Amino acid sequence: MYTAVYVRVSTGMQALEGTSLDGQVELCVKKAKELNVGASSIKVYKEEGVSGEDIDRPAMNQLRQDIRVGLISQIIITHPDRLSRDLTDKLFVCREFEAKHVQLIFVDTEYKNTPEGQLFFNLISVIAQYELSLIKKRTVRGRLKAVEKDKKIMPMRVPPYGYDLVGSSLVINENEASFVKLIYQWYVHDNLTMREIGNRLVEMGAEPKRAESKVWNASSIQRVLQSEIYVGKYYYNRRCTQKVKGERTKKGAPKKTYTYRHESDWILVEVPAIIDDSLFQLAQEQRVKNRTNAGNQKREFLLRSLLRCEHCSRKWEGTTYSGRMNKVTGKRGKYTCYRCPNRNPRRYGLEIGPCPTLSIRAELLDEYVWGLVMEVVSDPMEYMGRLHTNKESVISELVLTSDSLQKLLSSKEKEADKIKIMFKKDLIDEHEMELEFRAIKAEMTELQQRYESCQEQMGLIKLEANSMKEDQLVLDKINEFIVRKGESLTFEDKRHIIQSLVDELLIRCKESNVHITAVGHLDSLRMLKITDCNRLLQDN
């Protein structure tokens, strides 16, 4: 087993002796030698440029995983604030270490697992958390003063399109500014669409500021058309950022939420203007007109705003297509369809892979979904009974699977214990022991994930079972509503019935199959129908 040395330095921290990574490692290794720990039994976990505000860090995650599989016997850290500056996180991981009988040792602070020792440890942790809050407060206050008093522009990852950040000022980038003027000209006076503007920009060689893919999209063009910076008004301190604890984005960065502060808290910094106020106001008026006229106002779509694509998570939209030419009238007929917006991605200038779904005839899909709804509503007792039977069958299978996974986990833990015994008896060396532990760890991680997934599914099904009475009431009320209306059900009545039962309809197309999963009172556990319906598909 190893003695872990955990060291951390946060972004912007000065590499002073005792706080730099190398300085921390040196102090911790010295402490390990005092405890008669051999160099070969020390495993170092380095965390560089990571704040102590969040416990979710690469090296810390690896350390916690190694502790779970029994590789670590004790941890040496220079100071409690290197472990975490958040009291809740610190107490949580300490409980985790104690559960695996891992001893926690600090170089600068003596820590004992006694009531008095824990009290002292908690006091230090509270002070560390308070210091972090003070540092943040002073930093923000200093920035606000620099902006308000000296009209400085704070460092930013990417300056707005049309500008460059030079020192603490935004200066006009003449090449980009010429394209900004063209965007406003095309939008206001030439009435071009976002796609037409995007394609023109690419044809003329204009690259967006964040040019990873070198293409324009609707949102980047809309930002140019909406931002007051182009009339010389840059506002600082508009948005308030808040980290969502324990959550990360798809790219692995900490997830954040944004809210807007009251206008009285905004700080205005004047910058060089690229367009005049009158042109900017015309662009805003055009945006309002476009929004007012957006969408299909002439056609009725029963499932409007209820369809979501399972391939790319976009909400489907209703649209119309032109049919074949009528030889008698000489006109093309119109028919309605549902489609995913990503069939025609809003990124312009390059061929971007479209969503693999096909367009679906609206009247046929409306008829199909309405038939499913009526099938359930017409005989709710039969449906609820079938649902109850299905749930019991699924739970039985999940229980059996969970039991077998627990037995496998138990056997893997015994294997790990045997490897420890073999190492103590000098039957295997440290390298062989580590290789064996890694293999067992990988297997246990997979088994644990499968077990937790089973438990989560059982919990969801039990929660759904508790809401079955509510569902029964909803179905009964809808049944009464239909009986009362009789043959006079209007389009809006049908919309009301579907929206009462369904939150979303998830659509997945594969070859000639359309998979429809309902979420809501008829959720994915209760209604999943797969239909081989070529007649629904309309490839355009």
What letter does residue 85 receive in the DSSP assignment? S
Q: Is the C-alpha dihedral spanning 333, 336, 341, 342 positive or negative?
A: negative
3-state secondary structure 254-300: EEEEEEECCHHHCEEEECCCCCCHHHHHHHHHHHHHHHHCCCCCCCC
Residue listed under structure tokens 């699924």: 394
Q: Give me the residues paired with residue 241 across strands.
A: 258
Q: How confident is the model at residue 17 (pLDDT cuts 50, 70, 90)?
A: very low
Fold of 2-135: Rossmann fold (3.40.50)
Tokens 């061929």 belong to which residue? 351
State residue 211's pLDDT score: 54
Q: For the domain made up of 163-232+271-290, give the CATH fold.
A: Hect, E3 ligase catalytic domain fold (3.90.1750)
Which residue stretches of 84-114 are H helix? 87-99
Q: What's 314's DSSP letter?
A: P
Asked if residue 88 has pLDDT above 60, the reply is yes
Q: Does the pLDDT at position 367 exceed 80?
A: yes
Q: What is the pLDDT of residues 146-176, one digit of tens each?
A: 666 666 776 677 888 999 988 878 889 999 9
Per domain, the residue ranges of the chain are: 2-135, 163-232+271-290
pLDDT in tens, 208-245: 886 556 678 888 888 899 989 899 888 877 777 776 66
Instruction: Name the most confidently modeled range: 16-20, 26-30, 243-247.
Output: 26-30
Provide the pLDDT confidence category of residue 78 given band limits of 50, 70 and 90: confident
How close are the terminal C-alpha atoms of the chain, in Å? 63
Give me the pLDDT at residue 418, please.
Answer: 87
Comparing 143-147, 185-189, 314-318, 520-524, the range with the smallest average pLDDT is: 520-524
Mean pLDDT for the stretch of residues 275-292: 83
> Which of the four pLDDT bands, split at 50, 70 and 90, describes residue 181?
very high
pLDDT for the residue 424: 80
Question: Please, which pLDDT band fits residue 331 given cuts at 50, 70 and 90?
Answer: confident
Most confident of 83-97, 321-335, 465-479, 515-529: 83-97
pLDDT for 502 equals: 80
Concatenating the DSSP letter of every residue in 200-259 gives: HHHHTT---SS-SS--EEHHHHHHHHH-GGGGTEEEES-EEEEEEEEEE-TTSSEEEEEE
pLDDT of residue 176: 92
Q: Using CA atoms, how far apart are residues 64 and 42, in angstroms rounded to an integer?
A: 16
* pLDDT tens digits for range 357-366: 878 888 888 8
Q: What is the pLDDT of residue 127?
A: 60
Beta strand 2-9 pairing with 72-77 = parallel
As a whole number of angstroms, the distance between CA 189 and CA 439 comes to 66
High-pLDDT (> 90) share of the chain, %: 11
The contacts of residue 510 (CB under 8 Å, 6+ apart) are: none
Instruction: Name the token pair of 458.
Output: 């059982």
